[in-house]
Structure 1
Amino acid sequence: MKKLIIVGAGGFGREVAEWARQNPAYGTYWEIEGFIDDNLNALNGFSSELKIIESIKNWQPGKDHLHVIAIGNTKTKKAIVEGLISKGAKFISLIHPTVIIASSAEIGIGSVICPFSVISANAKIGKYVIINLNCAIGHDAKIEDWCTLSSFCDVTGKVKIGSGTYMGSHAAVVPKVRVGCDVNIGAGSIVVTNIKDNSRVFGIPARRLSI
């Protein structure tokens, strides 16, 4: 049986551990070996059956190891995944059984989709994308690699989200809008116009922040 390694032992990592136990592959194709995290004290004060078995920087993947990324920060996530892949790590996607996925949708390797989210017709989800609880991805929407969507985000029809973009909780993008790469959309914001690369936006409607 394969051994699943959860990369990141923070709050989201502990959530991913819970969702992993509810995955049909748990106990049939893989078992959870534990976390890797450069903060070896990340679980202190929390109840967890799983342990941090090694730091990320010192981790050496074995042939039976599978990995799932559990780090929300998009730049950190990308750097860690690329570093582990260079050591031979194999990543899987982890999709909770309550997620509704259209038969025409596409989901890239290494992505994590949490409970009660919906991926609609012809939507395309890139590689190593995190979609947290109760998100809705509309028809023909495209979310590029490395993005992170916090809980209750709404990406409506024909929206494009550029790579490395982060959406805070309850953020929404109206139909056909284009969001650039490495954008940070603040919690509760509603994006109604196209957003340039490397922008930070917040508000209703979302406006670019100068800081």
Structure 2
Amino acid sequence: MDLPTLNIYGAGGFGRQVLPLALEVGGGAATTARRAFSAIRYLDDNPAEAVFGGVPIVPVAHASAGDHVAISVANGTIRQTLAEKCRDMGLVHSTLAAASARLSPAATCGEGAIFCDFTIQEPGSSIGRFFHANVYSFIAHDCVIGDFVTFGPRVTCNGNVEIGDFAYIGAGAIIRQGTGADKLKIGRGAIVGMGSVVTRDVPDGAVVMGNPARIRI
């Protein structure tokens, strides 16, 4: 059986961070990417260079139906647009998880996620599609996370938290634990600033910062 090509869509900052992960784990389909895929390359809408880290960077038109793709763009809204574009092209969305990530078999996650080194997803938690978890991020039990959500490095999401689609949680943020009957809620499209400590619900579209986190915009 011929192995597919893995395309990392986006050769910017996070895309460069994803490359060693892709080489290491190959989308979870095999022990190494060399066994899971016939080739690895970057896709970019406007390539600024031809190669990064020994991996070619090519225009999106070079991808073919049946190729696999991991979308490495941090902005959730843009990620959604690219996901739909890739689906229309017949590309297969891959989930990439570092070997050091600990993802419970008693948890669930939608397609197209990226779990960087030392991320943890605990039992009973549920994550939607196209989630990004940067290094050392933690998702505790009974959390419910929507689609196109992004966690920066070292985010701590304690148990019984609900996070809406397109939310962005900045580096080092800590989210207080809710309860089964009263989950702490972070709304759709909300932004939690880096280092913030979230102790109460965050409305849709709000920007919160500080300790305790307060609405800034």
> In which range does the TM-score fall when normalised by the shorter chain?
over 0.9
Report the CA distance between 1:47 and its aligned residue. Answer: 5.2
Instruction: Structure 2 unaligned segments of length 5 or more: list them.
Output: 26-30, 179-183
SS of alignment partner, residue 6 of structure 2:
strand
The answer (yes or no) to whether the contact 2:129–2:146 under 8 Å persists in 1 is yes
Whole-angstrom CA distance in 2 between matches of 1:122 and 1:170: 23
The answer (yes or no) to whether the contact 2:123–2:140 under 8 Å persists in 1 is yes
Whole-angstrom CA distance in 1 between matches of 2:109 and 2:162: 15
> Are 2:193 and 1:193 equivalent residues in the alignment?
no
* Residue of structure 2 aligned with 1:93, choices 92, 95, 99: 95
Give the equivalent residue in structure 2 for 1:52.
57
Give the equivalent residue in structure 2 for 1:122.
124
1:1-211 correspondence runs (5 A): 1-23=3-25, 24-41=31-48, 43=49, 48-54=53-59, 56=60, 59=61, 61-176=63-178, 177-210=184-217
Give the equivalent residue in structure 1 for 2:28.
none
Equivalent residue pairs, number:
205
Whole-angstrom CA distance in 1 between matches of 2:34 and 2:119: 24
Give the equivalent residue in structure 1 for 2:181.
none
- What's the RMSD between the two structures over aligned residues? 1.5
Whole-angstrom CA distance in 2 between matches of 1:163 and 1:27: 34
TM-score, normalised via structure 1 length: 0.92
| Off by >6 Å, runs of 4+ in structure 1 | none
- Provide Cα deviations, 1:131-165, integer angstroms capped at 9, x if missing partner: 01001110111111100001000010010111100
Change (3 A) 1:60 1:139: same
Change (3 A) 1:31 1:154: farther
Instruction: Structure 1 unaligned segments of length 5 or more: list them.
Output: none
Instruction: Determine what percentage of the aligned residue pairs are the same residue.
Output: 25
Structure with the higher fraction of residues in helix conformation: 2
Which amino acid in structure 2 is aligned with residue 144 of structure 1?
G
- Provide Cα deviations, 1:19-46, integer angstroms capped at 9, x if missing partner: 11111241112144311112311x48x8
